[in-house]
Amino acid sequence: MKGRFARFAAIDWSGAKGGRHKGIAVAVADTGDAAPRLVKPGHVWSRTEVLDWIAALADGPPTLVGMDFSFAPPFVARGAYLPGDGAPDDARAFWAFVDAACEDEDLGAASFLEHSFRRHFYFGKADGTKADFMHLRECEAAFNASGGGKPSTVFDAIGAAQVAKASFAGMRLLHHLSGRVPVWPFDPPPAEGSLLVEIYCRAFIRLSGGRGLKLRSLADLNAALAGFNSLPFAADRWLADHETDVLITAAGLRRIADDADYWHPAGLDHAVARTEGWTFGVR
């Protein structure tokens, strides 16, 4: 993959209800060492706009795009995505399954969790023992084993840190991107053109040399960017967490994209690639 991409983009995603989402941010880094930049800074994105932005990359400079949500639920450990509910057994078919089950606004998927398949998700003590819902994908187990921290599961739907709604909304986006931009590792990396990968922004903060904590100041952001050999970012306003997350991750993608180890992690075999995928940046 050395020298394959002209740009590197990071997207912080949202599963919130509604048509516009303050939690979405997009950043791009060009090749070289220039500071990453925000795309449409201050804009309140819809998920559909993000879909259209990614789809348009098929006709532009080859871009490695990272999105911060889980591209599939756990499958390998239990042999099914939703045991007992007859869901498909590969990721692409499952994305279509999720999309067909949702009528939520702007590619949302709250109804999938809250109504259609409610019994699979933990929303609080009334659902029983939380540990019974804490199923992990192979990449999440590898991230935990490497000391990366406690990973989230798409079946935990409670609290500010939950990734459930964002991930299932993201699966709808992946379904609608089918045939337009390939998705690693479900698709083999193409010889040319853009490619979409799953990311975990907090992991890139740690890769930069930090402790993985949120970047709360411009000084913290620029110290992290320096860890990726990037020039500093100039800001004339306060930056939200989701903005600093995508800025450091765009620079991080640029830094590691040529490292073959990240494209061939030890735990990524054919079965995992077909069903669960992998978080780019976890080895």
Residue among 148, 135, 118 at smallest CA distance from 78: 135
Identify the residue whose tokens are 């740009």: 7
pTM reported for the whole predicted model: 0.95
Instruction: Give residue 1's pLDDT.
Output: 64
Q: CA-CA distance, 176 to 96, in Å (whole number)? A: 9
Instruction: Give residue 198's pLDDT.
Output: 97
Q: Where are the domains of the chain?
A: 1-283
Q: CA-CA distance, 238 to 215, in Å (whole number)? A: 12
Encoded tokens for 15: 């599963």
Encoded tokens for 131: 């540990």
77 CB-near residues (< 8 Å, 6+ apart):
135, 136, 138
- How far CA 112 is from CA of 49, 95, 157, 169, 271, in Å, comes to 22, 12, 11, 9, 25
- Mean pLDDT, the chain cut into blocks of 10 residues (283 residues total): 89 95 96 97 96 94 97 96 96 98 96 96 95 94 75 87 92 96 92 94 88 82 96 91 96 96 94 97 90
